[in-house]
Chain A
Amino acid sequence: MRDRKVVAFIPGDKFPAVTITGYSCSLMCDFCRGKYLKGMTPVRKPRELYDLANRVWERGGRGLLISGGFDKYGKLPIRPYLSVIRDIKKDFDLIISIHPGFLEREVIVKLKECKVDIIDYSFAFNPLLLKYMRLNLKPEDVVKHFREWLRVGFEHVVPHILLGLRGYISRWDYEALRALLQFNPHLIVLLVFIPTKGTPLESLRPPLVKDILDYVNYANKTLQCSEISLGCMRPVEYKDSLDELLISSKLVNRVANPHKRLIEKYGLLKVEACCSVPYSCINCS
């Protein structure tokens, strides 16, 4: 049982997710096939990202999540946007999160120079997941990449663990937690596999709620100093079952986009930002 109150993170239009590759992706992972890009705001060139930042400011927004499709090496093609990100950080007090994939050190250093605040890191530790991503990476490479971000000096590198690929929680999901132990992350985000229509995995089912609860219990015991967030990628039907169980038992600290019903029932504080944003950026404790 965690003593902190559970907080609802609702990015909405105050913290929009942006795709810098439009709706296209070269990686085309088997569990996504670029479907989730369609829920993001597309920008076609750096100037459009700047204008979007201005619009976000003009609606009292908090920040931007810069994401998009990856190239075939699992990297977000961020280079053309580096200078405009620097300008945005210079001109606006917006929080910038990036979902970068597995970038090379040189670009990581540049992102640090641009004063990017948060890295949403896909902690794809499960070899099956890496296979579905068509990446020639091993679990230890994922850890190595994670360490790279920290070495460059990023304070807020938030590992995202996708649970229950193919419908069951595997030992790799548990291994991912143990691999993170050495880093003592301040926050981890848990995502739940969604069998998405139009992908090769559409006919599968999501992992069982009971198994997820066991996992989250274990995560609490393993990473005692880390906050745990239930991220926005989870089956919509779980918002009634899993969400309520996690909120009422206080097994997580944060939930992204919970039902309004649960917000009211449990009197959750609402924060209009991505669930990986640290409290130091949004000023509450």
Chain B
Amino acid sequence: MSRPGFVLEVDDRTPPLVVHEGEGFRLETFPRGTRVIYPPESLPGIRDVDGAIRRALLEPTNSEPLPVLLTAGMRLTIAFDDISLPLPPMVKPDIRQRIIEQVLTMAAAAGVDDVEIISANALHRRLTAAELKDIVGERVFRSFFPQGALYNHDAEDPDGMLFIGETDRGEVVEINKRAAESDLLVYVNVNLVAMDGGHKSVPIGLAGYKSLRHHHNSHTMVNSRSFMDHTKSAMHHSAWRMGKLLADHLKIFTIETTLNNDVFPDSYGFLMKREWEWGVRDQASMLAARRGLAIAPKSVRHKLYQGMRAPYGLTGINAGETEAVHELTVAKVHQQQMVEVQGQSDVLVMGVPYVGPYNVNSTMNPILATCMGLGYYFNSYRGQPVVRKGGAVILYHPVEPDFNQLHHPSYVDFFEEVLSTSTDPAVIEAKFEQQYATDPWYVHLYRTSHAYHGVHPFYMWYWAAHAMDHVGDVVWVGADRKAVERMGFRAASSLQDALEMVSGTVGRSPSITYLHNPPHLIADVR
């Protein structure tokens, strides 16, 4: 029986607590009275995963069973969440592989020949062949990739996108042409957090800049409360309007999966336990990891962390009509990740780990670290933010100005050019977004190399817009001073210094809450 999440209040007996900071972690002593939000322990994974998948496909929600929807001569497209999910990547076999294999088996049984499989990467980077193979598995890869029937979505292919229409708010809905012209689109989700899935999948994952700009903008991001509750997220409202329009034009069979909180491999199991419950083995692992990481060269640390695969357990799978499926999914995600928290605090402390959605097999540059901390972690709440309006956020991450030139070429320019002009999301959006979004070089790299789209760093910055609008102070502990100053923040060398620095905003005896994740959690702030 897994225990629910809870809120610890630091007292004299509380040991130093793990705080993630990029490719490393530290043990931090928090001031007495600090609230520490621990995620629930992992729910037990489903033992018969293949059986659960089969049941979901045969007994879908608000939909006919998948085999009934499959007919000989039809055009079938299977789209799946790209490498940005889950985090970290999961041990093989990937859940998407297992689902796609069963869908293909049913399609073959129905005599469906025209099948194409698309990585729904929207404006994310193209996956390499090896990355595609990791997700769909050897068998599917060998059957489809050489024939060109397994590929990355290309949102800049002028012949590959189809205009569907406009929502009643004038939002352009344009998605992948192959998917749009299919008799059936099966979308395979990995719903790591509550904001994933639903109508956020097809209208975003298979769309391009013309559609995404309607909800990925500073105004929408600032006005979403929060992303973890699609009923209160302006971004999701827009995606939902698009999804409803799409549903009138295209038969979509949605498959959503939920995972438990087993985010670290066994050797790092202590990172998922409460510190005062560490046994001798956990202590030994922690010490070995700390010492090892301290002496390891940066490249070795990077390789070690990026090579980590999560032994996720499947906690649920639902299939059928998008909205009905998504309600079941969200309930399951909440069961795994929701922690009730009473009231807001003056200061929110978060450790930004080594991986986010956009640096799998890559580098977490300063923009991505900001997105991860002030975007995803800050917004990991329901109700109201954990920190009060005008409060302070303290983040842990080295924030080294290292950029992966292959994956993030426009990020370099964004950091050097855009952020040196302004850090205000609205100003940046008005002045630079269009330029970057249509820059032919970025478009070329997005289409032919493995680069995120030119506009992508803007979206990362917008993710942090709500936090930047809400809080009065942001301080990074252990960060590269120049890099964080470029982004309009401040750097401190210790928590004590950071608290001293934010005392002008929150006073000398602030209430402090530390969000102890990963594993993933949602703070349900009452």
Q: Do A and B come from one complex?
A: no
